[in-house]
Amino acid sequence: MTDPIIEHAVDMESKRFGLKKPMVRYDTQGEMSDAERVKKAMQHFAKDFGYVAATYMESCVHCGICANACHFYVTTGDPKYTPIWKIEPFKQAYKREAGPFAFFYKLFNLKHKVTVEELEAWQELIYDSCTMCGRCTLACPMSIDIASLVGMARHAMFHAGLVPHELWAVALKAEEEGSPLGANPKVFKERIRWMEDEHEVDMYIDKEQADILVCMSSIEIQKYPKSMADTAKVLNYLGLSWTFHTEGYEATNFGLLSGNLDWQKDMSQKIIDTAIKIKAKTVLLPECGHAYQAMRWHGANMYGQSLPFTVVHISEFLADAVEQGKLKLRTVGKTAAFHDPCQVSRRGGATQAPRKIIEALGIELREPASSGDFNWCCGGGGGVITIHRADELRYKAMELKLKQMDSTRAHLMLTSCSNCRQNFDDSGEHLAWGRKIESLLELVADNLIEDK
Amino acid sequence: MSLDDIPIQIAPPQEGPSEMPKALLHEVWELLQAVCAGRSVRERIDLHGLPLSPADYQQLQQLLGRGEVSALIEASGRSEVFETAVAGVWWLRDFGADERLVAEYLEITALPLMLMTHHDDLCAAVALLQQQLSAE
Amino acid sequence: MSVTLLDFARGPAMQWALIIFVFGMVWRLVGVWGLRHKADHSQPRVTQGVWKRGLRAVFVRVLPYPEFAPKVQGQYWISYVFHLGFFIVLLFFVPHILFFEDILGFGWPGLPNNVIFFVGGITVAALMVALIKRILNPVTRMMSNFDDYFAWFVTIAPVVTGLLVNANLIPNYELMLAIHILSFQLLLIYLPFGKLMHGFWLMVSRWTTAVRFARRGGLS
Amino acid sequence: MKKADTLGDELRRQGISRRTFLKFCAAMATSMALPASMAPVMADALAATRRQSVIWLSFQECTGCTESILRSYAPSIESLIFDFISLDYHHTLQAAAGRAAEDARDQAMQENWGKYLVIVDGSIPLKDGGIYSTIDGHTNLETLETVAAGAAALISVGTCAAYGGLPMARPNPTGAVGVDEIIKDKPVINLPGCPPIPEVMTGTIASFLTFGRLPEMDRLGRPVAFFGDTIHDRCYRRPLYERGKFARGFDDEGARKGWCLYALGCKGPITYNACATIKWNQGQSFPIQSGHGCLGCSEPRFWDKDSFYKPLSATHWGNAAGLAAAAAAGAAVGAGVAVLSRRHQDTIAKGE
């Protein structure tokens, strides 16, 4: 069978970097009976019924407070976007199959068996309307980490073949081609060479040994290639031993986003193996939120043991250099608003890093309401931006986001996540924002004081 | 140690009269009206069974006042009767032979039953007197 | 007539209610704790005092973060009013203290009845408001299931029956007292099996999240 | 015996005026919470009746009930009741004894068949053919059934006659029961109490005399007029209960200050009786007033119910060992369920 999904080409024209809008949607994958789909889903639900998930699913009191934290609920007012509701089938399966009273739930059919119709209906809630930004976790009086539960629910959805068309396709491309969006090793190499010429900066690739393995996301490779040059510029400025590597460069992890744990592991493994191979002490991750989540916090767990190197996000890396006084920066002046990428700040623990850099640039940071750990998500993460079906929803969420950013009346709009950035670009155009968000890394690279 | 040495004191109940005396006065007025209009000859209000606090009790006495007639009856213990300042409203207290209050009520009538000689007693007196006379 | 309802409520019913309460509660907690714990191999950002953060979160999260307060404080207020009201009535009504004293062997000072009745009244009112809000709010209406309404019922029932016992509106005090005790036992028996168990889970859940995020250096 | 036409004639002959009569009725109306205007009506009705024949049967009892009714010792207004009735048979009170006494009873029964009132104090043993209490060779059961057959109504005086009382206390060696367990075809009224209040007894008899029938009863067969409220409802210490002032020992400050005795096991809240209003010994006092909680003696099974000193809100909750066992069982089941759940998860995960 020829899978029609794969035939969709990467859309290089749109501000949003992804697949072209499919003429016909195929939101179910594989040839499976309904019963098989449910069985597959249950198989993977069951793998996630550990203590942590169980505690969370036992704890919910149905207070609905989490709805107030979710950008999708707040902007639409539709109750189905209530975060905890998004894992309802997962919860239902847990109560019936694994909870302490599962026996009674089953015996009296208190929770019926999850049906394929339910799983199909929930596809939109689990994928289109959740960026796994975790803002709801902070709102929940019981501290239920709903974002991680959604991540788990996606495992089952993937194996049941119930992933939104585009997300499934990019995940498959990433697994098969090494990059979700056509940045295969050949393209990667070409673009590095191009940037090297364009920006007159030395860029190392496939060095046999280096202290730092630098990874890039395909968004940057394809859409914001200056990031590659700027990363190189900073690393060279600091005089560090570093390299890109064609065997392990793709930082995005669509295995994580789509819910395929095996693929997630494959994608992380490439970087891990490469880093070990070149004896890297550090893996430097680009301005990409979920890439950070995937490698920094999931990486070792995919590997099955602690990693023999440290994993840092470029903003953490820059902040360290600034703090150690190694990075001399021009005073930019002006005022700026910073959009915290959810996976780096709230769920990554690196909330302070960008603030230190902004301070070092002499920029007055204007924090809008709900920033830092409480930042409103851009609405495009977690794979949402690839799904055309979710566009209207995403634009709605972005309205809230832009209003928040505009409220600061700052000169500069900054972020340190290329996925957020492309969402700002795409939604900003759609909503006629008339402004542009800039990369913190690029701002740093543009303002290095070369005192040599 | 005598009983008096046991230092038991009872905490006093809340002070001040309640709405009770006023409500009672309304009832008295209605009954008095009925008797005045000839719809009834005799009406009674039991005071003993009502939850009257000492303050209530005192106020009721003040409100009704004391009228012209008062009487003492000796019949298996004492009974006290007096007409209140409100004519036709009589206040009666019955004591047992042990000086215990056994009944207390207001009677709204021209003359309380307690003061009247019952017809049967009166007839019995006829027979008794006749006996005495014939014995002489 | 041999055994009255009150005798049953004070005797076997109380024994079984307590046994089921303790049994069910431990069962559920152990049953969840006994599921697989997955090790986290990621390099922690913070290693010191992670457990302290866990403990702290149990208390810190008693109030919403100021970020969310404007939208959710009404709901917090209502729920705190009935939670606190419920516990004040439960723990500071002298006859209740005598109940605990009999079990624990020690007691504590109580509050005057009129204070208790006032608090009880407020508790009932807050529970009513909570129910109305649950039904009117589309989010909570959608999510609510039997557990939510039944838990509400078993919570309000002892308060209402307790007030009725003391209001003496129903002539048979003894029967009402028995119903009151039975309604409390219904609460005890149901507690481990429904969402009322959140009284225990809230500690476990807050702790779990706080510890998970503390090692990342994140907020929880 | 010289026979009077009516009670009125009879009393007049004894020099008791109708005013006394009226007074008696006013007192009765008050104690039974009848409308005050009923008193003159009662007096007229009573005057027109004949003297009521009463047969008093004593079974398994302590004579406390008889003592109680006699303890209206001064020539009180209530004691008038003895002038209104013809007590034709009463072991303790009658002069006759042995055969003569039994003959008197038979005669009264014959003369007043279908009209006499039977008062019973004491419970009736049923075990082993009722041999545990016999009179003149007859078991109490036989006597009761024989006498009740011609009765207009029965009054069970005291908790023993009403509900079995102390003889019925566990293990109830004699198989004692109350009257209404046996007599089903006649009106029976219960006047429980250990002993019952004299005014309750005389009031109920007076009510029967005047109206010719037993007064309104509650679900336990007690006259509502006297047993309509609990001791707690009418207790003068109730305000202290409301204020949360409780004596915690019989010699503490609270006890000295006369605070509520709830914490000391007072059963006032679940005991229906008129002690708090009518009181005892000519309105002198009642148990709570003298510093001891109500034992609940007018309620069925009061003896077996509970410790007299256990607060009503304290329960028979079991013991710590039982709860520890429940916790241990819960832990075992929880662990077992977790293991099963893990296995079940593995099975599902394998997709089998």
Residue B1 belongs to a domain: no
Q: What are phi and psi of D155, to 5 degrees?
A: -120, 120
Of A207, A201, A205, A206, whose CA–CA distance to A233 is shortest? A201
Query: What are the phi and psi torsion angles at A178 (to 5°)?
Result: 90, -5
Average pLDDT over every residue of A261-275: 96
- Whether the per-residue pLDDT at A233 is higher than 90: the answer is yes
Which subunits count as partners of chain C given 3+ CB pairs below 8 Å?
Answer: A, D
- Residue range(s) defining the domain that contains residue B67: 18-135
Greatest CA separation for chain D? 107
B67 CA: distance to closest CA in chain D (Å): 22
Across the A:C interface, residue pairs with CB atoms under 8 Å apart total 161
Give me the pLDDT at residue D185, please: 94
Q: Do D348 and A46 touch (CB under 8 A)?
A: yes
Residue environment code for B55-78, b if the CB has 16+ CB neighbours within 10 A, otherwise e: bbbebbeebbeebeeeeebebbbe
pLDDT at B9: 58
Angle at D100 between CA D98 and CA D103, to 5 degrees: 115
Cβ A69 vs Cβ A63: under 8 Å: no
Please write the tens of the pLDDT for every residue from D27-79: 888 877 788 788 888 888 888 888 899 999 999 999 999 888 887 655 566 67
Are the beta carbons of D23 and B103 separated by less than 8 Å? yes
- Across all residues in chain D, what is the average pLDDT? 89
Residues 37-96 of C with CB under 8 A from A: 37-43, 45-46, 57, 61, 64-65, 67-68, 71-72, 75-76, 79
Q: Which residues of C touch D338 (CB under 8 A)?
A: 30-35
Q: Which residues of A touch C210 (CB under 8 A)?
A: 143
Among residues A27, A88, A40, A35, the alpha carbon closest in space to that of A60 is found at A88
Inter-residue contact D68 to D198 (CB < 8 Å) = yes
Contact with chain B for residue D40, Cβ under 8 A: yes
Q: Is D316 within 8 Å of C10 when comparing Cβ atoms?
A: yes
State the Cα torsion A194-A198-A201-A205 to the nearest 10°: 0
Mutate to test the interface with B, among D13, D16, D21, D23 (most CBs of B within 10 A): D23
Task: Give me the residue from D232, D246, D334 closest to C27, CB to CB.
Answer: D334
Assess contact for C156 and C124: CB atoms under 8 A: yes
Q: Which chain B residues are closer than 8 Å to D22 by Cβ? A: 113-114
Pick the residue of D219, D224, D298, D317 with the most C CBs within 10 A to test the interface with C by mutation: D317
Inform me whether the pLDDT recorded for A139 exceeds 90: yes
Contact call for A98 and D344, based on CB within 8 A: yes
Minimal Cβ distance to A51: which of C37, C198, C206: C37
Q: Mean pLDDT, to the nearest integer, of B81-88?
A: 94
Rounded distance, CA A174 to CA A158, Å? Answer: 15
D189: exposed, middle or buried (C-beta count within 10 Å: 0-12, 13-18, 19+)? Answer: buried
Sequence-distant (≥ 6) Cβ neighbours of residue A26 within 8 angstroms: A4, A5, A165
C169, C174, C176: which to substitute to probe chain D, counting the most D Cβ within 10 Å? C174
Size of interface C-D (CB pairs under 8 A): 135
Helix (H) or strand (E) holding A311: strand A310-313
Given a cut of 50, whether residue A1 has pLDDT beyond it is no
Residues written for chain C: 220
With beta carbons less than 8 A apart as the criterion, state whether D163 and D192 touch: yes
Residue A285's H or E segment, with its range, is: strand A282-285
Whether A407 and A195 have beta carbons less than 8 Å apart is answered as no
Q: Do chains C and B touch (3 or more CB pairs under 8 A)?
A: no
Which is nearest to A100 in space by CA: B95, C155, C65, C34? C34
pLDDT tens digit sequence for C101-128:
999 999 999 999 889 999 999 999 999 9
Distance CA(D320)–CA(D314), nearest Å, equals 15
Give dist(CA A26, CA A22) in Å, integer.
Answer: 9
Residue C172 has pLDDT above 50, yes or no: yes
CB contact under 8 A, C34 and D335: yes
Grade residue C171 by pLDDT with cuts at 50, 70 and 90: low
Chain D residues in contact with B118 by the CB 8 A cut-off are 17-19
d(CA D262, CA C110) in angstroms, rounded, equals 13
C-chain residues near D316 (CB < 8 A): 10-12, 14-15
Q: Cα–Cα distance between A312 and A318 in angstroms, integer?
A: 10
CB contact under 8 A, A347 and C28: no
What percentage of chain A carries pLDDT values higher than 70?
A: 98
Sign of dihedral through CA atoms D190, D191, D193, D195? negative
Please state, rounded to an integer, the average pLDDT across all residues of chain A: 93
To the nearest whole angstrom, how far is the Cα of A303 from the nearest Cα of chain D? Answer: 21
Structural domain contains residue B11: no
Q: Which of D18, D30, D291 sits opposite B118 (nearest CB)?
A: D18
D266 to chain C: nearest residue by CA? C95
Q: Kindly write down the DSSP assignment for every residue of D201-250, as one continuous string.
A: HHHHHHHHHHHSSPPPB-TTS-BHHHHSSBHHHH-TTHHHHHTT-B--ST
**Residues 305-344 of chain D whose Cβ lies under 8 A from any Cβ of chain A:** 334, 337-338, 341, 344
DSSP-derived letter for residue A293 is: I
pLDDT band at B8 (very low <50, low <70, confident <90, very high): low
D27's CB contacts (< 8 A; 6+ apart) are B94, B96, B102, B103, D77, D78
Which token pair is A86? 């998004």
Report the distance separating Cα A431 and Cα D144, nearest Å.
100
Asked whether residue C1 carries a pLDDT value surpassing 50, the answer given is no
Chains B and D touch (3+ CB pairs under 8 A): yes
The set of residues, in sequence order, having a beta carbon less than 8 Å from that of C121 and lying 6+ positions away, is: C163
Among B81, B93, B94, the residue to mutate for chain D (most D Cβ within 10 A): B94
For chain A, say whether D92 makes contact (Cβ under 8 Å). Answer: no
**Domains of chain C, each with CATH number or no CATH:** 5-28+45-214 (1.20.950.20)
Q: Amino acid letter at A86?
A: K
- Inter-chain CB proximity D341 and A99 less than 8 Å: yes
Q: DSSP letters of C170-204?
A: SS-HHHHHHHHHHHHHHHHHHGGGSGGGHHHHHHH
Residues 6+ away with beta carbon under 8 Å from D147 = D55, D57, D105, D109, D118
**E strand segments, chain B:** 43-46, 70-74, 78-83, 89-95, 101-108
CA–CA dist C82, C126 (Å, integer): 6
CA distance A303 to A296: 12
Closest CA to A294 of A319, A318, A260: A260
- Report the residue from D8, D39, D77 with minimal CB separation from B76: D77
Give the number of C-alpha atoms closer than 13 A to the C-alpha of residue C122, restricted to the C-beta side: 18
**pLDDT tens for each residue of A304-331:** 999 999 999 999 999 999 999 999 999 9
- Does residue D352 carry a pLDDT above 80? no
Place of tokens 């509400």: C152
| Chains in contact with A, where contact requires at least 3 CB pairs less than 8 Å apart | C, D
Q: Where in chain A is the domain with CATH 3.40.50.1860?
A: 179-320, 328-446
Q: What's the CATH code, domain A179-320? A: 3.40.50.1860
Neighbours of chain B (3+ CB pairs under 8 A): D
Nearest CB neighbour to C43, from listed A101, A310, A370: A310
Q: Which of D334, D338, D348 sits opposite A97 (nearest CB)?
A: D348
Is B5 inside a domain boundary? no
Calculate the alpha carbon distances from D241 to C79, D199, D253, D258 in Å. 30, 28, 15, 11
Q: DSSP for A382-402, please give it.
A: TTGGG-GGGHHHHHHHHHHHH
Question: How are beta strands A335-339 and A282-285 bridged, if at all?
Answer: unpaired
> What is residue D306's DSSP assignment?
S
Record the tokens describing residue B48, joined without a space: 């003993």
CATH no. of A328-446: 3.40.50.1860
Distance CA C139, CA C209 (A): 24
Tokens of B11: 């905490």
pLDDT digits (tens, 9 = 90+) for A163-207: 999 999 999 999 998 888 888 999 999 999 999 999 999 999 999
Chain D residues in contact with C168 (beta carbon < 8 A): 233
Segment D289-336, tens digit of pLDDT? 999 999 999 999 999 887 899 999 999 999 999 999 999 999 999 999
Q: Could you tell me if C25 lies within 8 Å of chain D, comparing CB atoms?
A: yes
| Domain range A25-163, CATH architecture | Orthogonal Bundle (1.10)
Cα distance between residue A333 and residue A316, in whole Å: 22
Peptide bond into D171 cis (omega under 30): yes
How much of chain C is in helix, strand and coil states, percent to nearest 5?
75, 0, 25
Q: Cβ of C91 under 8 Å from any chain D Cβ?
A: no
* Segment holding A11, helix H or strand E: strand A10-11
CATH number, position B64: 3.30.1370.140
Give dist(CA B73, CA B66) in Å, integer.
18
A54·C32 Cβ contact <8 A: yes
**pLDDT of A379:** 94
Task: Write phi, then psi, for D260 (nearest 5 degrees).
Answer: -60, 140
Query: What is the helix, strand, coil percentage profile of chain B, to 5?
Result: 35, 20, 45
Residue B10, domain member (yes or no)? no
Is the predicted pLDDT of residue A398 greater than 70, yes or no?
yes
Query: Which part of chain A has CATH 1.10.1060?
Result: 25-163
Greatest Cα-to-Cα distance within chain B, rounded to the nearest angstrom: 66
Q: Is the pLDDT of residue D2 over 70?
A: no
CB contact under 8 A, C168 and D233: yes
Token pair of B93 as six digits? 């207290």
CB contact under 8 A, C26 and D326: yes
Number of domains within chain B: 1
Residues of C in contact with D269 (CB under 8 A): 173-174, 177
Which chain C residues are within 8 Å of A142, Cβ to Cβ?
A: 198, 201-202, 205-206
Query: D336 CA to chain C: closest CA distance, Å?
Result: 8
Angle subtended at Cα A159 by Cα A153 and Cα A160, rounded to the nearest 5 degrees? 85
Interchain contact A99–C (C-beta under 8 A): yes
Contacts of B35 in chain D (CB under 8 A): none
Interface predicted TM-score of the whole assembly (ipTM), two decimals = 0.83
pLDDT at residue B4 in the model: 62
**Which residue in D has a C-alpha nearest to residue C113's C-alpha?**
D242
CA nearest neighbour of B91 among B59, B55, B66: B66
